[in-house]
Chains A and B, each alone.
Chain A
């Protein structure tokens, strides 16, 4: 994707700048951008490593396992076709909890495993089943409790309150997911 868009962006910008006499500022921005990337990465490094360390602790405990049991009522609504005793059920709920805690390294493998298990039960191997579609939809929503990357960026830009946007993130995520799920339920019928 970026292989196509990226050169396109640069070529068009240069051509546009030549015709509009903005070449000076373009020249300046080329070197600024490289410097900005370095600065961002350095300030970013601390927060990212810190969170990764905390989340590593979480992933070695049975935390995810236990919390996934709390999802029961929601699971029934989202995945009416999946039996509670099925191993897929566990894979799905653990994937969701791992997502909530931002355990990307744990969430993706669990998610892919769940997809494979659901594919085994899928009658039409070419087409997503209702459960698979719902599962992907949930994974395209951001369930992450603490948006660590954004906090890292805000911190590196010298924000007075790097974490002050978290509750709005939760509200927006919930609204987004609700809209997605409702639309999916409608499309299924």
Chain B
């Protein structure tokens, strides 16, 4: 547990260090480039903001109306059988479909159950370890006009599922 924590914390300064040293060796204008990139970052947030408001509204009313709990109760037997905590189900269902929606839902879960709780850590791990599968497949196939995608969706969803189960198992062992 401590080693994992330590390595997790060391990874970031290490990556930053390598990149900056590399930039200096190649005689780039490191600081100017940094500022350029940071400026781009504001655009990312600017672009995601409207989606966030929209999704937060939808998730907010789904939760407060009680319909989310009602739905989760229906699928409870299957989820319990798989050993997945109920609280992360909204994320598991949305993750492959929409990146911004998944971000909003994950934030909501972490806020409600505690960001450093087991549920919060599982949520973080799932968000970090999976991608917006359907969106990626759609972009990469549409750019070359391919219609028959064979097994790609099945394999990608198998990967997502295994990633989520692994996240749950890891935090169950570590807690």
B59 to chain A: closest CB distance in Å? 7
Whether B148 pairs with A179 at a CB distance below 8 angstroms is no
B155 at the interface (CB under 8 A from A): yes
Instruction: State the main secondary structure of chain B at its contact with A.
Output: helix
CB closest chain-A residue, reference B126: A172
Question: Which residues does chain B contribute within 8 Å of A40, judged by CB atoms?
Answer: 52, 107
Complex Cα distance, B113 from A159, in Å, reads 12
Complex Cα distance, B110 from A157, in Å, reads 8
B132 to chain A: closest CB distance in Å? 8
Complex interface bits, B46-80 against A, C-beta within 8 A gives 1, otherwise 0: 00110011111111111111110010000000000
A61 to chain B: closest CB distance in Å? 5
Whether B171 pairs with A37 at a CB distance below 8 angstroms is no
A163 at the interface (CB under 8 A from B): yes
CB interface residues, A 160-189, toward B, < 8 Å? 160-161, 163-169, 171-173, 175-181, 183-184, 187-188
Complex interface bits, B5-19 against A, C-beta within 8 A gives 1, otherwise 0: 101110110011001
Complex Cα distance, B149 from A183, in Å, reads 15
Interface size for B (C-beta < 8 A) is 100
B140 at the interface (CB under 8 A from A): yes
Question: Which residues does chain B contribute within 8 Å of A12, judged by CB atoms?
Answer: 62, 67
Whether B162 pairs with A175 at a CB distance below 8 angstroms is yes
Whether B159 pairs with A140 at a CB distance below 8 angstroms is yes
CB closest chain-A residue, reference B61: A13
Question: Which residues does chain B contribute within 8 Å of A17, judged by CB atoms?
Answer: 61, 64-67
Whether B150 pairs with A187 at a CB distance below 8 angstroms is yes
Instruction: State the main secondary structure of chain A at its contact with B.
Output: helix
Question: Which residues does chain A contribute within 8 Å of B129, judged by CB atoms?
Answer: 142, 147, 168-169, 172-173, 176
Nearest first, the 8 closest Cβ-Cβ pairs linking A and B are A56-B37, A180-B159, A176-B163, A147-B128, A49-B41, A52-B41, A187-B151, A169-B128
**Given contacts A2-B101, A167-B11, could you give 4 more A-B pairs where the C-beta distance is less than 8 Å?**
A13-B65, A60-B33, A169-B125, A172-B126
Pick 18 A–B contacts, CB within 8 A, sort by A.
Answer: A17-B64, A30-B60, A34-B56, A37-B56, A49-B42, A50-B41, A52-B41, A112-B143, A127-B147, A139-B131, A157-B107, A164-B121, A165-B121, A165-B124, A172-B128, A172-B164, A175-B163, A178-B162
B interface list, Cβ under 8 A from A: 4-5, 7-9, 11-12, 15-16, 19-20, 22-23, 26, 28, 30, 33-42, 44-45, 48-49, 52-67, 70, 97-98, 101, 103-104, 106-107, 110-111, 115-116, 120-121, 124-131, 133-134, 136-137, 139-141, 143-152, 154-156, 158-164, 166-167, 170-171, 174
